[in-house]
Chains A and B, each alone.
Chain A
C-alpha cells in the first residue's frame, strides 16, 4: 500500500500522458486527413508533444505549481524517505540524487550497449547482429553517453553540491529545477522505444538527409534529443542564476570553489549553445513531419547547413561535459594534496577563455565536409589556440600536487588518472585539429579513441572521482575505500588497454561506425573487444561497493576527507535547509597550510547571514 501511495505521482503522470497523447494524435489525424498527407509521423510528433505536457503536469507540475497560475492554491506533494525520489520535489539534493541515479543507470545501460557492439566487432563478418541492429546499438550508445556526460554533472553533481558549495539553501528556481529533471524520463522512454520503430541509424549526430528519410525510430530519436536539449537549457539557466544570486555573504567571485566556476562556465554554454541544436533538430522534424525542405537538396535545401548548426552547439557541448570534469579533478587534487589550488586566478581565466573559444572552433569537424577550403585555416588556428588555456589546467593540476601531501584515496586516484588520460586526449586532438592529418583521420577509429580519451578518460574519470568524493556527503554512508581502489586500478588498466589500440586501428584504416571491416583488422579488433569486456566488468565492483555502502555501510562523518569547502561543514547528509546556521565566508576555500586561515564561519544567531554582501 505504501508503495502504491509513493508511486501515485508517477501513475498520475502516466495517465495524463495517455490523455495528452490521445489529444495530440487526434489533432494530427484530423489535420492530416484534411491536408491529405501521410499521418504516421505527425501523429507521433503531436501525440508525443501533448503526452510530454501531460506527463509533467501529472507528475507534479500541476499540483505544485501550475495551479497557482489559475488562482488555485498549490498542493504540496513533498514526501520524506525514499518516496521523495519518485515525485516532483524542489529540494536540490533530492533532485541531484534523482539525476545521479538515473544517469548512472543509463551509463551502465549504454556501457552494456558497447559490450554488444564489441561482441559484433570481435571478428570480421557478422557475429551476433546484423548491420541494422548494429547501427541502432551504436547510435543509442552514442546519444545515451552524451546525455550522461552532460547531465551527471550539470544535472547531478551541480544540483547536489552547488548550493552547498556557495552556502545557499537551494537553487534560484527550485520548481524549474524539478521540471528539468522530470522531462528526462520521456527522453529515456523514447530512446528505448526506437528499436521497435525500425531503429535509427544516424549516430547521435543525426545528419540529414539520412535523418530525414530513415525509419520512424529516427523521428523518436530527434524528439528525444530535442527534449533533452530543453532540459539542459533550463538547467543552464538555473545554475547561472543560482551562482550569480545566491552566494553566501563573503563568497566573492574570487573565493568561489573551482567546481562552481566550472559549472558556471558549463551553464553559460548550456543556456546559449543548446538552443542552436534545438533549432537544427526542429528543422529535421519539420522536414519529416510537414514536408519542408531545409535539408532536401532536390528542393533547394542544404544538407551542409545542418552540420554547421549541429557543431555550433556540439563543439561547445563537449565543454559542457569536460569543464565540470576539470572542476572536479582540480577540486579533488587540491583537497587531497593538502595544498592551495595552484594558479587559481589563471584557472578561472582559462575556463572563461575556453567558453569564449568554444564557440569559434566548430568547423574543425567539417574539414572534409565540402565547406569552402578557405575556412580551414581560421578554424585550425582557433582550435589549436584552445591548447593554451587547456595547458593552464595542467599547470594547475601538476602545480597543486607538486610538494603536496598526497592522500591517495579513491577519488584522488581517479583525479590523478584524469590528468594522465586527458593529456593523451589533448595531444591526439591536435592531430584532428590539424588539417593535413585530419583529412585522413576524420571519421576513423583515431577519432573514436581521441574522444573517448577526453570524454571517458577525462570526464568519466572525473565523474568517478566526484562519485567517490561526494558519496559520504550524499548518502551519509562510507563506501569501502579498498573496493574503490580495486575498481580504480581495474578500470584504469582495462581502459588504457581498450582505447590505446583504437588509435592504431584508426591509423590502419578502421573507420568508425561500421558493423564490419576488412579481415586484416580482425586481430586488433578481437584484442579491443576482450579488453572492453574487462573494462565493462570493472563497473560491477563500483555498483557492488556503492549499493552495499548505501544500504548498510558505516555512517560517514560530516567531513571524512577533512576538506575545507562548505559542503563538508554541515552534516552528512545535509539537513533540508543545508546549514543549520547560514554560513559566512571569510577566507579562500583552498588555503591549506596557511596558518590561522578559515574558509567559513557559521553566522551568529540572529540571522546576520541574510544581509547579502556581494
Chain B
C-alpha cells in the first residue's frame, strides 16, 4: 500500500467513525406512535449506517486528491497514463454488488416482510377513509359512526384503513405512523397501522392525517387531527358520537 492510499484509508476510517457516531447519537426521527413506525425508523437507521461509509469514502478520496494532487496554475506535465486497474475494478464491483444485495435484503426485504406480517394479522378494527377536496371522511362500520372532524383510534389495536377518493387523487399519511397510501377514485386501497402510544394533535403535530398527493387549491390545509386513546375512552367517544347523530 503506498502512502497516498494509506492516508486516504485513515481519512476514510476517521470520517466513517465520526459519521457513525453522529448517526448513533442524533435521533432524527420525530414522534413515532405505531408499531409500523418502529419498523420504518429501523430501516431508516440501517440505511443511514450503510450510507455513511459510502459518502465518507467519496469525500475522503475527493478531498485528499484535491489537496494533494492540485497544481498551482497550468500543469506543465501530464499525469501518469493509468487507464485501468484490473484488480481495483474487480474489488469495486464486488463491494458495490455486495452492498446492493445487502440493502435489498436488509432493510429492504426484511422490513417489507415485517410490515407485511403486521398487516396480515386479522385487523381488530376497520376504518373507511374517503378523501375529497378538501376534507377526509372517516366511517367506522362496526361502530356505525362517521365523522369529518378527527380520526380517533384506540391504542394497541390493529387498524385497517380502507381508503378511497370521491374526486381526484389524495394520499393518506399520518407522520407519527409513518404509513401512507394514495386515495384513488374508483379503487379501495388499504393501509395498516397499530398505534402503540396515546396522544393528540395538540401534544404533537406528528399526530395528524395529512394529504400528500397534490389535489389542488386546498391541498396544504387538507389535514385532520389524529387522536389515539385508551379503549374505554374510544368507546365513550363512539357512544357520544352515536348520541349526537341520533339527536
Contact = CB atoms under 8 A, between A and B. Distances in A.
Interface of A: 131-132, 135, 201-203, 207-210, 213-214, 297-298, 301-304, 337-346, 368-370, 373, 376-377, 380-381, 384-385, 387-388, 391-392, 394-395, 398-399, 401-408, 416, 419-420, 423-424, 427-428, 430-431, 434-437, 439-440, 442-444, 504, 507-509, 511-518, 520, 562, 591-594
A376 B84 contact: no
B167 A209 contact: yes
Nearest to B188: A370
Interface string B92-109: 110011011001100111
Interface of B: 4, 28-30, 37, 39-40, 43-44, 47, 50-51, 54-55, 58-59, 61-62, 65-66, 69-71, 73-75, 77-85, 88-89, 92-93, 96-97, 99-100, 103-104, 107-109, 111-112, 114-116, 167-169, 171, 173, 175, 178-182, 184-187, 189, 205-206, 208, 210, 212-221, 223
B74 A407 contact: yes
A585 to B, nearest CB: 17
A196 to B, nearest CB: 18
Given A343-B84, A377-B109, A440-B179, A298 B186 contact: yes
Contacts of B54: 423, 427
B214 A207 contact: yes
A427 B55 contact: yes
B77 A338 contact: yes
A346 B187 contact: no
Nearest to B70: A406
A342 B86 CA distance: 11
B184 A437 contact: no
Nearest to A519: B205
B220 A385 contact: no
Nearest to B31: A509
A203 B83 CA distance: 45
B214 A419 contact: no
Nearest to B102: A384
Given A213-B168, A430-B47, A509-B175, A403 B69 contact: yes
A436 B40 contact: yes
A98 to B, nearest CB: 33
A208 B186 CA distance: 13
A440 B217 CA distance: 24
Nearest to A209: B168
Contacts of B217: 131-132, 135, 201
Contact of A419 (B50, B62, B93, B187): B62
A443 B75 CA distance: 47
A203 B214 contact: yes
B84 A342 contact: yes
A406 B69 contact: yes
Q: Which of B4, B208, B214, B220 has most chain A Cβ within 10 Å?
A: B214
Contacts of B112: 376-377, 380, 435-436
Nearest to B175: A509
Contacts of B61: 398, 402
A511 B180 CA distance: 12
B184 A303 contact: yes
A430 B78 CA distance: 38
5 contacts: A405-B75, A437-B111, A508-B30, A516-B221, A593-B81
A403 B107 contact: no
Given A201-B216, A210-B215, A338-B77, A302 B186 contact: yes
Contact of B220 (A131, A203, A401): A131
A405 B69 contact: yes
Contacts of A214: 216
A403 B80 contact: yes
A514 B219 contact: yes
Given A405-B79, A431-B44, A439-B178, A370 B69 contact: no
A434 to B, nearest CB: 5
Contact of A338 (B73, B79, B107): B79
B184 A369 contact: yes
Given A423-B54, A592-B81, 16 more contacts: A209-B185, A337-B79, A340-B83, A399-B88, A402-B69, A402-B82, A403-B69, A427-B51, A431-B44, A436-B39, A437-B44, A509-B205, A511-B212, A512-B212, A516-B220, A592-B79
Contacts of B58: 394, 398, 419-420, 423
Contacts of B43: 434, 436-437
**7 interchain residue pairs of minimum CB distance:** A297-B186, A436-B111, A514-B220, A593-B78, A370-B189, A339-B79, A405-B75
A262 to B, nearest CB: 19
A401 B82 CA distance: 11
A204 B62 CA distance: 35
B158 to A, nearest CB: 17
Contacts of A512: 212
A603 B85 CA distance: 34
A395 B96 CA distance: 10
A434 B65 contact: no
Most chain A CB inside 10 Å of its own CB: which residue of B30, B71, B221: B71
A416 B71 contact: no
Contact of A388 (B55, B93, B220): B93
A402 B47 contact: no
B107 A436 contact: yes
B104 to A, nearest CB: 5
Given A399-B88, A401-B69, A517 B182 contact: no
B30 A439 contact: no
A436 B116 CA distance: 10
Contacts of B206: 509
Contacts of A297: 184-187
Point out which of A202, A341, A405 has the most chain B C-beta atoms below 10 A from its C-beta. A405
B51 A437 contact: no
Given A405-B69, A431-B47, A439-B180, A388 B100 contact: yes
Contacts of B73: 407
Given A210-B168, A404-B65, A431-B47, A443 B213 contact: yes
Contact of A442 (B29, B75, B85, B212): B212
Nearest to A508: B30
A370 B66 contact: no
A520 B205 contact: yes
A502 B7 CA distance: 33
A516 B210 CA distance: 12
Contacts of A388: 93, 96-97, 100
Given A209-B185, A381-B104, A508-B30, A338 B75 contact: yes
Contacts of A594: 81
B44 to A, nearest CB: 5
B82 A304 contact: no
B40 A406 contact: no
Nearest to A513: B214
A509 B212 CA distance: 10
A391 B55 CA distance: 12
A436 B92 CA distance: 28
Nearest to B114: A436
A369 B190 CA distance: 10
